[in-house]
Structure 1
Amino acid sequence: MRKLLIGIAIITISFCVFLIFNHKQLPTKEDVFKISGDWSPKTEEVYLVRKIDEEWLTIFRSSNATIVSRLEQNWMGFWEFKDDLGRGTSLVSTYYPPETDIDFTWNAEGRDNIPISYYFGQINNPKIQEIKVEIEKDIFENAIIIDIGETRFFFLKSEAPTLLPINIKGNSESGDLIYSTLKD
C-alpha cells in the first residue's frame, strides 16, 4: 500500500512539473510547423512568432497564402491556433505570392457576432512607411508595420466591425499619400 501511495505521489509531482514546464515555454517557429503540419498546402515558411499587443501572433505562408494566426496555450501547455471565438483557425490571410506591380496586397476579416476586424497585407513598395485603415467614415487607425528582412507586412486588429467599402492608405515617411484602395 505504501509503495502504491509513493508511486501515485511521484506520478502526480512529475505531471505537475511537466505542466509547469510546458506553461513556461514561449511559442516557436517549430510550434507553428507542428500545428499546421496536416494542412494542405503545407506551411513552407514561418516569418515570425512575436507578442503583439499582449497576444502571441505568427505570420507564416504556404504556397498560396500568407496567414496570421493567434497562438494560445491549451491546458497541457501546448500551443494552438485560436481565433476570437475559440476556434482553431487563423485570423486573416492574403494570397501568395504577392502581385509585384501593386504597392501592397491586403485582406480584411471580420468576426460573426463580435465587433472585431483584422486587416493584413504585404507591403511591396519600399517607399510606403505608414499604413492607415479607415474603420469608420473619415476615422483612420494606424496599422503596425512588421519588417522581416526584405519582407514587410502590416497588421491591424480593430475593435470595430468591418465596414465596406474598405479604405487602406499607404503613406511615405513624410506623410505623402502613395496608394489608396479607394480613389478619392
Structure 2
Amino acid sequence: MSRLPDSTRPPADPAALDQVRGLARQLDTSIRLPGGLRIGWDALLGLIPGVGDWAGALLSSYIILQAVRLGASREVLLRMVGNVGLEALVGAVPFLGDVFDAAWRANTRNVRLLEEHLAAPSAARRASRAWVLGIVVLLVALLTLGMTLAVLAFRALASVGSQA
C-alpha cells in the first residue's frame, strides 16, 4: 500500500478529528472526582468483571478506525492498537487494572498520536517505530524470563520427585 507524499496528502477531516477528540474525552476524562482527579467512562466500564475492559476496547477501536480513514501510517496504527491492547490486558487485573485504566488513558494518547501524525507524518512514523521496537524487545525479554522460570520450576519439581 503506497502512501502519498506529505505535501500531496489530502487535508484531515476536521469533523472526524473533533469526533475522535470528543470520544476520547468521554472515555478518558469526562467525569470529575473529588480532589480534581478525572476519569472517563472507559475506567467505569472496566469495573464490570469479565466484559468491561473489552467493551472499553471496542469503543476505543472507533478512534483507530478513524485513524485508518484519515491515512495514519502502519506504525502509528500499530502503536494505537498497542495502547488499547495494553489498557485492556492490564485492565483485566482486578483493582490494579482499574487504577491503570484511569491513569493510562489510551484514547487520549491515540488522539495525540493521530494529531502528531497529521501534523508531521514522518516524525510520528519514526517515533512509532521506536516504540514498537521497544515493545517487541520487552515482550521477548518477558517471554525469555517466563521460559527460564518455567525450566527452573520444572527442575525443582523433578529434583523433589526423585528424592521422594
TM-score by length of 1: 0.24
TM-score by length of 2: 0.26
Higher strand share: 1
Higher helix share: 2
Higher relative contact order (CA 8 A, sep 6+): 2
